[in-house]
Structure 1
Amino acid sequence: MHTVDQENVSATLTVVVPAERVFAVLANPTTHPAIDGTGWVQEPVDRATLTEVGQIFRMDMYHPDAQDGDYQVANKVHVLDPPRAIGWLTGYAPKGDGHLEFGGWFWRYDLVPFGPSETEVTLTYDWSAVPQSIREYIWFPPFGPEHLTNSLHHLADLAAPTSQGL
């Protein structure tokens, strides 16, 4: 199930996996290419587990509409409440000097444990803080809402106890 609001889109899926395990998969940047429902996330540049608000982790990306297709994003953790919530702002270094700028959109996962072995996971992509200057050249959301549902199914597969993902 997914919903699209004026400024965000979300999807929810109940998985037969404890919340701690789902959170551990989300806090591991090396799993993000496999979770991604768009196929844009390629490889993590920063592979350290996400452990604190303000932590930066970069990802190599690919999108056919980007200049040369390949680009890199710098994500900044802005929500970290194990095992209930994790989220990050997506930014970039436009001048290549290490100074990061954030466009006003973020990803957030909310986990609600249902007993010891089930978790309701809601993935939200929110662009409510994106300034008009960016909206003039990026359409929001830049993907269909089915990509969030795809991501949740990928996450469920990775977090499943039989998975070799962890």
Structure 2
Amino acid sequence: MAEDNVSATLTVAVPAARVFAVLADPTAHAAIDGTGWVQKPVDRAPLTEVGQIFRMDMYHPNHPDGDYQVANKVQVLDPPRAIGWLTGYDPKGDGHLEFGGWLWRYDLAPLGPSETEITLTYDWSAVPQSIREYIQFPPFGPEHLPNSLHHLAELVSGG
């Protein structure tokens, strides 16, 4: 793959502020993800500032432990236009977080008062070679981002 990011775009008949509010709610992330990897939020507070950490319980059959936890750090927060976070972890369990260099980002473009174009980008351009040696990027198939956007559309539409 020549690029170090993938993205997908979907338009929904919902105002950008509503879409942003759902994305800023960690309790909605498992439903948005749709893979079963994101299990539940450990930190349930809404995302309100750059630098905020929110942890999620995860599961992946290829992870050495199966169940694990990630610590996400809000990197972009521009309501209601953009939100994004780096994914990291606490390798020693001592509260010292390490981030692998991959970023999840949602860009919201209002197309009038009640329609929003949502672009979801997964960017791994900052992942060092040492991590790329044991994790394949992206770690999901090409259908994941469009599927995730459709799950988000269902949530924001009340469906």
Structure 1 length normalisation: TM-score? 0.93
**Which residue identity does 2:74 align to in structure 1?**
V
Query: SS of 1:11's equivalent?
Result: strand
Query: SS of 1:75's equivalent?
Result: strand
Paired residues of 1:35 and 1:151 also in contact (CA < 8 A): yes
**Match of 2:135?**
138
Aligned counterparts, 1:69-88, within 5 A = 69-88=66-85
1:59-97 Cα offsets, whole Å, 9 max, x none, are 000000112210000000000000000000000000110
Comparing 53-62 and 36-45, the one that deviates more: 36-45
Deviation at 1:5, TM superposition (A): 5.6
**Match of 2:15?**
18
Asked if 1:7 corresponds to 2:12, the answer is no
2:92 equivalent among 92, 95, 103 = 95
**Which residue identity does 1:104 align to in structure 2?**
G
Asked if 1:51 corresponds to 2:54, the answer is no
Query: SS of 2:104's equivalent?
Result: strand
**Which residue identity does 2:20 align to in structure 1?**
F
1:108-142 Cα offsets, whole Å, 9 max, x none, are 00000010110000000000000000000000000
Q: Number of paired residues?
A: 159
Deviation at 1:37, TM superposition (A): 3.5
Identity across aligned pairs (percent)?
83
Structure 1 residue ranges without an equivalent (≥5): none
Aligned counterparts, 1:103-122, within 5 A = 103-122=100-119
Q: Distance in 2 between matches of 1:68 and 1:109?
A: 29
Paired residues of 1:10 and 1:145 also in contact (CA < 8 A): no
Q: Is the alpha carbon distance of 1:112 and 1:5 closer, same or farther for their aligned partners in structure 2, counting shifts above 3 Å?
A: farther
Task: Flag as ranges the 4+ runs of structure 1 deviating above 6 A.
Answer: none
Deviation at 1:39, TM superposition (A): 2.0
Structure 2 residue ranges without an equivalent (≥5): none
Q: Is the alpha carbon distance of 1:62 and 1:34 closer, same or farther for their aligned partners in structure 2, counting shifts above 3 Å?
A: same
Asked if 1:33 corresponds to 2:30, the answer is yes
Paired residues of 1:38 and 1:143 also in contact (CA < 8 A): no
Structure 2 length normalisation: TM-score? 0.97
Q: Distance in 2 between matches of 1:10 and 1:25?
A: 19
